[in-house]
Structure 1
């Protein structure tokens, strides 16, 4: 019977070989024979295909480029040992991903700087008092722009996450308090709520009272949804608001107290959250490792220390290839 250690080594070898195929096929020197050989390699088993798919997705995520990593045109992959293949893959990923990440972060920071009235950097948090008496708590790498006029107290969340404490409509203040993001808008019916932007969706979490979510879908306007305290909903411009679900408010707001709480979360989600609070990126190179469940508390001012603890607990390793790129495998 094959031991658990042997199985783990086999999976590591599959993913190393898959990484080599992704790099080889991305080179301009790739031939029809290379592509045919890759198809044959992937056809050996479902595990081979899954390893290739994961490596391909990881490459695209790292490089933030189009489907073909054209920058590898002058490099050739030689049939050395398994270890040397891993080194070649990691080195190539470091070069191109590091450059892409630096350029992307510089462009994104410049865009936000131009548009934002208030913003925070990685790992930074900020409390802002608005002209109407409302308060905004900006989380890490977040930005807002104020769009107040005679009809509404509108705040645009340009990026990241913010907790809003909306001043009520009373006295001479009759304008609604509205927060817009990339996918819709929320109108405060109470006081405290959090809005967070994701790549293709926005998310609302209500802390006190209730909030109305409105989404103009590409085809038609979706019916507004009322979200009560202790509930969360994610919404986008394609399908409108999703299902409303209960949420642990203590966990969702833990960032305000300088910590992140994780309760049996997949490692991929934990690392994605940690990445928000540091410069550069941590990338998981092993698909099995990405699904491992993690519970614990991470102090925001010590996120880098937490990575070594997580790796030790899971029997994983880390490699910092550039100041912007750390691999977990």
Structure 2
């Protein structure tokens, strides 16, 4: 098997491929020096090929001159080797070399700042919410207990005899007071949990909802696919996506609900997945730029209110280092 070179292992690529291309063009076109006519023509072809290209280009170009990028660049100056503009010009399309990682990370993460704003809007309009690293207990109007995990927002519906909670984002655990005449409903993006009295959690994340049962019994119904239901027994979970319900599977109850005791349990997970789990409890963004770290298997037991310390320790154990950028951004390389 061929071993990857240093460049291939540490090449940064933004999650959105179009933004990734725009970032590469920004480095090539805006880093300074004279742009050759052939390169300008190549750029114009890319820019006009798709409206999404122009949108991405305008966004990263605006960010280029923002105060945040200027501050981040100054902070990293001492640690970043000086590289000629002609070396930047020779970067392969769609790829940024190791020496361009700090610049790319600054741009890409700040471009993603709108994501933070979008995450805040649901919390502003919700009935109850938590910030990163926060856990909150709420006694509901019927006496049931609801505990919100980090970065969660929910709306309540307890009018006219109804008992309902809509999870806008994040994860909540419920200990439901038994009332056979008034079923308790928890709704996510794609799934709905129906119970009369039990303890369970529902997590809304990305493009799926996860229902996990601690005790009792629940029925999970797909909200838009008729006839798709699943009945869970303790220690079982099901994932609802836009298309369907997953097969019912078992899970480790202690690990899954460790956050109720303020703990984050990571058991033999790839480094990338472990960092993503810790990032939920961290108040900023974390970007892994060293691909050699991504699949290293790691384990640990951490506190939910010490996520940044956990990220530092896990990264050091895996052989990586952490660079801090303004605005609560951690870059792992």
Once the two structures are TM-superposed, the CA of residue 255 in structure 1 deviates from its matched residue by 0.6
Pick aligned residue for 2:109 from 86, 94, 97: 97
Cα offset, 1:169, TM superposition = 0.9
CA contact (8 A) 2:263 2:303 kept: yes
Q: Could you tell me how far 1:189 is from its partner in structure 2?
A: 4.3
| TM value normalised by structure 1 | 0.77
Gaps of 5+ in 1: 37-64
Task: Give the drift of 1:265.
Answer: 0.7
Matches within 5 A, 1:235-254: 235-238=240-243, 240-254=244-258
- Which residues of structure 2 form unaligned runs of 5+? 15-19, 30-38, 46-52, 65-83
Give the aligned length.
Answer: 286
**Structure with bigger RCO (C-alpha 8 Å, 6+ apart):** 2
C-alpha separation in 1, matches of 2:12 and 2:263: 37
Deviation at 1:12, TM superposition (A): 2.7
Could you tell me whether the CA contact under 8 Å between 2:141 and 2:158 is conserved in 1? no
Q: 2: distance between equivalents of 1:285 and 1:89?
A: 8
Q: Per-residue displacement from partner, 1:30-85 (whole Å, max 9, x unpaired)?
A: 6565899xxxxxxxxxxxxxxxxxxxxxxxxxxxx998454444979640699x95
Q: Pick one of 8, 11, 15 that aligns with 1:14.
A: 8
- In 2 relative to 1, CA 111–144 (structure 1 residues): closer, same or farther, beyond 3 Å? closer
1:26 and 1:68 in contact (8 A); partners too: no
Kept after mapping to 2: 8 A contact 1:71/1:96: no
CA distance in 1, matches of 2:238, 2:196: 16
* Paired position in structure 1 for 2:204: 197
2:239 to 215, 234, 243: 234
Aligned equivalent of 1:160:
170
Query: Equivalents in 1 of 2:5, 2:197: separation in Å?
Result: 51
TM-score (norm 2): 0.76
What is the Cα-based RMSD across aligned positions, in Å?
A: 3.2
Match of residue 290, structure 1, among 264, 273, 294: 294
Structure 1 146/254 Cα, relative in aligned 2: closer, same or farther at 3 Å?
Answer: same
Tell me which of 297, 304, 318 is aligned to 1:300.
Answer: 304
Cα offset, 1:192, TM superposition: 0.1
Whether the aligned pair in 2 keeps the contact of 1:161 and 1:197 (CA below 8 Å) is yes
The match for 1:113 is 124
Give the distance between the partners of 2:12 and 2:272, measured in 1 at CA. 20
Q: CA deviation at 1:297?
A: 0.7
Alignment check: 8 A CA contact 1:190 1:208 kept: no
What's the offset of the Cα at 1:322? Answer: 2.3
Going from structure 1 to structure 2, the CA distance change for 1:96 and 1:236 (only over 3 Å counts) comes to closer
